[in-house]
Structure 1
Amino acid sequence: MLVAVRTVGVEEELLVVDSSGRPVPLGPAALEVAARRGEGETVEEHDRAERGDDEAGGGDPVGRLVPELKTQQLEFGTRVCTGLDDVAADLRHWRGRADAAARDVGARVAALASSPVRVEPQSTPGERYTEMAETFRLTAAEQLTCGCHVHVAVEDDEEGVAVLNRIRVWLPVLTALTANSPFWLGRDSGHASYRAQAWNRWPSSGPNELFADAAAYHRLVGELLATETIVDTGMVYFDARLSERWPTVEVRVADVALRAEDAVTLAGLVRGLVETAAGQWRAGVPAPAVRSEVVRMAAWRASRSGLTGDLVHPATGRPAPAGAVVTALLAHVRPALAAAGDEQRVAAGVAAVLDRGTGADLQRRVFAATGDLTAVVRAAVEATHT
């Protein structure tokens, strides 16, 4: 049994944009700059690592900048952290280093989960990304989206699967809290998180039914691979999954947060969910018997309205005001937050989001005031680094 506070790590994807606010295919050039500084992995190095040709690589974004699916993106990961102060410091450090590398090639980075302005996404070179582009065609071609993935340590796969079974009903609330992609192809999508809609076009995405045990989880992954539809296990895009490379549960439902502190709040909430779920499992509390269709409906609704409308309450399966559902989430994890020393910071972070709104709300306010989507991007660049 884990006796210390569970470690946590965060991966973020960022848009590379020019001064006009348009995403530009300068991610690979920025990575060349970062690699010369010992802070990044070039596209070629990343591709070798993904193929297993480079033992020093591994394709993981921890502690360096790496490529993503599109050349208009950069990705990074924090260290394995114990305290949220360390998560915050790493997020700000790597956002800054990504921006410095982008500045050197005439661009900036913005924590936007989709591009407000119309853009033609360009695929990153490399064997794996090329195979994805050829296999999934328009789904892959249009997938210029930026997410935030939170890893939390688990003792083993059995504990990890028990956690997956118990956190699934709460994950749509995290989507609502982090919504940061209201615009798509130059127009308002009508969704607070349109990234979630675009992402769920992948055949392996979304919620799962309950797993009997870790063996059942791994059988499902094997069955998905056996269909020869997805290219590898890295494309097992469940809302939450067991990490293939780390002893962690990886929660993948969040938009990249516009503000770094909101990503810290997300990390604290995910760690609280994991610790709460593991404690329930050890105490023999059964996982909520909610069908995946209902979870998917709750996720769609969270993507649609963010915090501006009703969400599906995990305890009742009925609509309730977003603030009440978020408050229920905070109450659910509060003992775990207190045990980790996170209660005050996470509660304050949640209150701040409820008070001022999400990244999606800020984007829409800027557009309402200016009528200019490039102004939305410029405001996002500023917020990314505050």
Structure 2
Amino acid sequence: MSLTASSPAEIAGTIAGQRLTVGVEEEFLLLDPGTWRNAPVADAARDALAPQVRELTRVEFRRSMMEMVTPVCSSLPQLRAHLAANRSAAAAAAHAAGARLVAVAATPVAEPDRTVEDTPRFHAISRHYGPIAHDPALCGCHIHVGVPDPQVAVQVCNHLRPWLPVVQAMTANSVFHAAADTHHASWRSIQLERWPSLGPSPFLTSVAHYERTVAELVGSGVMLDDSMVLWWARPSRRYPTVEVRVADVCPAAGDTVLVAGLVRALVATVLDDIAAGRPAVRPPEHLLRAAHWNAAHQGLGGTLMDLRGRRAVPAWDMVDLLTETAGPALRRHGDEAVVALELARLRTEGTGADRQRRAGDLPAAMRMLAGLTTG
């Protein structure tokens, strides 16, 4: 990152009103279709991909995981097409390797092989964090929204903080651990709390403040290096984007389209706020963390925190408030109808966690998710 001469409000004013780009990284588990244990066949699955598709995958930390990345997209229909193609290709490659590709966010049964992929970086992480790095594999959905200036990206992350527990609740899709219901909607979120550099992003005033904070955390030993910024929202190190990392991997491509559309609209909305000089809501850190824990625990089945009013409200009231707040940006991007359709389906079918529990038992839930993964 480098400092810019103009103020964030001036820069945001040049971005506000534009159509923002969006891209998605989805992580999937490779599961044995007989036992639903994790299958360490990622290398074979990647080798089974066509060369042009292999460019859209990444080597993940664990050998039972497969990540697929969309190109930069300008519209939600374009994004949906890329998500569907990625999922179809990855599922076929997983089948060729003797596994099922499943969009589930936490290891449901067990991971007998917890070795990391053989790269110097992954081995360094393994040594530094020890058993934490060898917890059962987890899968997220990371949404990138184009924000070309790093000063503005830092401010966007500040403004997003009160809304991210709602996104977390909407995408909760990890009920099972060790073959039992955890009584949490997003076990992934709970398990990730063991990582010391993960959670809500701190409130930062500038790029210089960001860089100083990261350097202090690296110096403390909490972060191995500056690539270990694992906050729920962060300025991307690799792309001119804000990256929102709070979501569980979603069961179906339509669920991912929904959350990507809402996140893009939220970013566009807060850009308007920054340009107008409206300050970010700054809830106390203990309440922000409590809101995230509650979202992971209940999903959309109970209450969520309205962090502006510092009170608990019915979860769907917060979803409606988020959608209403982002409404002008949804319309500006041409996303209102798509988001409304997917939101109506979410209201009827429930989150991934709800769908897993409704399936009856773990094998039925995994078969259901494997089907939803590719539509």
Give the structure-1-normalised TM-score: 0.90
| 2:7 alignment counterpart | none
1:18 lines up with 2:32 in the alignment: yes
What do residues 291-326 of structure 1 show as CA deviations (whole Å, max 9, x unaligned)? 222111100000000011011113311111111111
1:383 lines up with 2:372 in the alignment: yes
1:8 lines up with 2:22 in the alignment: yes
Shift of 1:33: 2.2
Shift of 1:285: 0.4
1:278 lines up with 2:271 in the alignment: yes
Of 230, 246, 250, the residue aligned with 2:239 is: 246
Shift of 1:118: 2.7
| 1:141 alignment counterpart | 134
Shift of 1:249: 0.3
Shift of 1:234: 2.4
Shift of 1:351: 2.2
Of 43, 52, 72, the residue aligned with 1:28 is: 43
Alignment of 1:53-132 (within 5 A): 63-122=55-114, 123-132=116-125
| 2:9 alignment counterpart | none
What CA distance in whole angstroms lies between the structure 2 residues aligned with 1:319 and 1:147?
26
| 1:320 alignment counterpart | 313
Instruction: State whether residues 193 and 360 of structure 1, in contact with CA within 8 Å, keep that contact through their aligned partners in structure 2.
Output: yes
Alignment of 1:99-248 (within 5 A): 99-122=91-114, 123-248=116-241
What do residues 324-353 of structure 1 show as CA deviations (whole Å, max 9, x unaligned)? 111011011011111111111112212221
Shift of 1:78: 0.4
Q: What are structure 2's unaligned runs of at least 5 residues?
A: 1-13
1:256 lines up with 2:271 in the alignment: no
* Secondary structure class of the residue paired with 1:176: helix
Shift of 1:231: 2.6
What CA distance in whole angstroms lies between the structure 1 residues aligned with 2:104 and 2:112?
16
What CA distance in whole angstroms lies between the structure 1 residues aligned with 2:112 and 2:278?
49
Query: Structure 1 residues 121 and 263 mapped into 2: Cα distance closer, same or farther (>3 Å)?
Result: farther
Shift of 1:22: 2.2
Query: Structure 1 residues 82 and 251 mapped into 2: Cα distance closer, same or farther (>3 Å)?
Result: same
User: Given residue 293 of structure 2, which amino acid in structure 1 is its aligned partner?
Assistant: W
* Secondary structure class of the residue paired with 2:87: helix
* Secondary structure class of the residue paired with 2:242: strand
Instruction: State whether residues 174 and 266 of structure 1, in contact with CA within 8 Å, keep that contact through their aligned partners in structure 2.
Output: yes
Shift of 1:272: 0.7
Instruction: State whether residues 91 and 100 of structure 2, in contact with CA within 8 Å, keep that contact through their aligned partners in structure 1.
Output: yes
Stretch moving more, 92-101 or 248-257: 92-101
What CA distance in whole angstroms lies between the structure 1 residues aligned with 2:67 and 2:268?
27
Instruction: State whether residues 162 and 281 of structure 1, in contact with CA within 8 Å, keep that contact through their aligned partners in structure 2.
Output: yes
Instruction: State whether residues 201 and 234 of structure 2, in contact with CA within 8 Å, keep that contact through their aligned partners in structure 1.
Output: no
Instruction: State whether residues 121 and 142 of structure 1, in contact with CA within 8 Å, keep that contact through their aligned partners in structure 2.
Output: no
Structure 1 vs Structure 2: percent identity of aligned residues? 39
The size of the alignment, in residue pairs, is: 359
What do residues 40-72 of structure 1 show as CA deviations (whole Å, max 9, x unaligned)? 2xxxxxxxxxxxxxxxxxxxxxx5122211101
| 1:39 alignment counterpart | 53
What CA distance in whole angstroms lies between the structure 1 residues aligned with 2:293 and 2:278?
28
Greater relative contact order (Cα 8 A, min sep 6): structure 1 or 2? 2
Shift of 1:4: 3.2
Instruction: State whether residues 209 and 291 of structure 1, in contact with CA within 8 Å, keep that contact through their aligned partners in structure 2.
Output: no
- Tell me the C-alpha RMSD between the 2 structures: 1.4
* Secondary structure class of the residue paired with 2:231: coil
What do residues 3-40 of structure 1 show as CA deviations (whole Å, max 9, x unaligned)? 53000000000011122122200011111222x63422
* Secondary structure class of the residue paired with 2:53: coil
Displaced runs of 4 or more, over 4 A = none
* Secondary structure class of the residue paired with 1:158: helix
